């Protein structure tokens, strides 16, 4: 997790902007010193701790059945398709047999993306980004972009500028 990202986040439990790295906690920081790979952050307001594992900050406070089912689906897809990068990089348009299923989502995304009117100088935090296909569009526009999702087995590590 990039250190500067913490200032953009609110605690998902109490909604306060009180997240910080506890001074007494030993954390594993990458070579550049700007990304915490292991450790946790703490909300100074409600006291809740959020774990950072393999550079991923877990802000999920309750896994509902929809999230659990999606994670299981991605696991099954991972086992069925050795390289999921090609279909994921084709989103939102999709390829092959999945193209028709994604048609309305692609149209909605393209409409929204056009209406936002980005200059390319914005900071974009793409929450619940899943496989980060939407994050990629913001980064290509030139924005400093971070995608945060909850799919644990394959990490989307897009952070551009």
Taking CA atoms, 53 is separated from 28, 40, 47, 113, 130, in Å, by 10, 8, 19, 32, 17
DSSP 52: E
Whether the Cβ atoms of residue 35 and residue 41 lie closer than 8 Å to each other: no
Specify the pTM. 0.49
Q: Give residue-wise pLDDT tens across range 56-73.
A: 788 877 767 766 766 666
Kindly indicate the confidence band of residue 160, based on its pLDDT and cuts at 50, 70 and 90.
Answer: very low
Residue of 33, 82, 78, 38 lying closest to 58 (CA atoms): 38
What is the pairing mode between strands 28-29 and 19-20? unpaired
Q: Give residue-wise pLDDT tens across range 90-102.
A: 777 777 766 777 7
Domain-wise residue ranges, the chain: 3-57, 65-160
26-30 long-range Cβ contacts below 8 angstroms, 24+ apart: 27/52, 30/55
Whether the Cβ atoms of residue 125 and residue 146 lie closer than 8 Å to each other: yes
Query: What mean pLDDT do residues 42-62 have?
Result: 85
Whether the Cβ atoms of residue 40 and residue 28 lie closer than 8 Å to each other: no
């Amino acid at each position: 997790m990039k250190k500067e990202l913490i200032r953009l986040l609110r605690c998902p439990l109490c909604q306060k902007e009180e997240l910080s790295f506890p001074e007494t906690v030993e954390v594993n920081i990458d070579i550049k010193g700007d990304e915490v790979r292991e450790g946790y952050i703490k909300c100074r307001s409600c006291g809740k701790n959020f774990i950072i594992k393999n550079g991923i900050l877990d802000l999920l406070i309750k896994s509902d059945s929809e999230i659990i089912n999606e994670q299981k689906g991605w696991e099954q897809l991972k086992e069925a398709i050795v390289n999921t990068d090609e279909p994921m990089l084709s989103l939102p348009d999709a390829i092959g047999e999945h193209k028709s299923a994604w048609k309305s989502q692609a149209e909605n995304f393209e409409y929204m993306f056009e209406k936002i009117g980005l200059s390319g100088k914005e900071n974009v935090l793409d929450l619940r980004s899943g496989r980060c296909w939407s994050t990629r569009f913001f980064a290509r526009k030139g924005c400093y972009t971070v995608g945060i999702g909850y799919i644990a087995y394959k990490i989307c590590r897009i952070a551009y500028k």
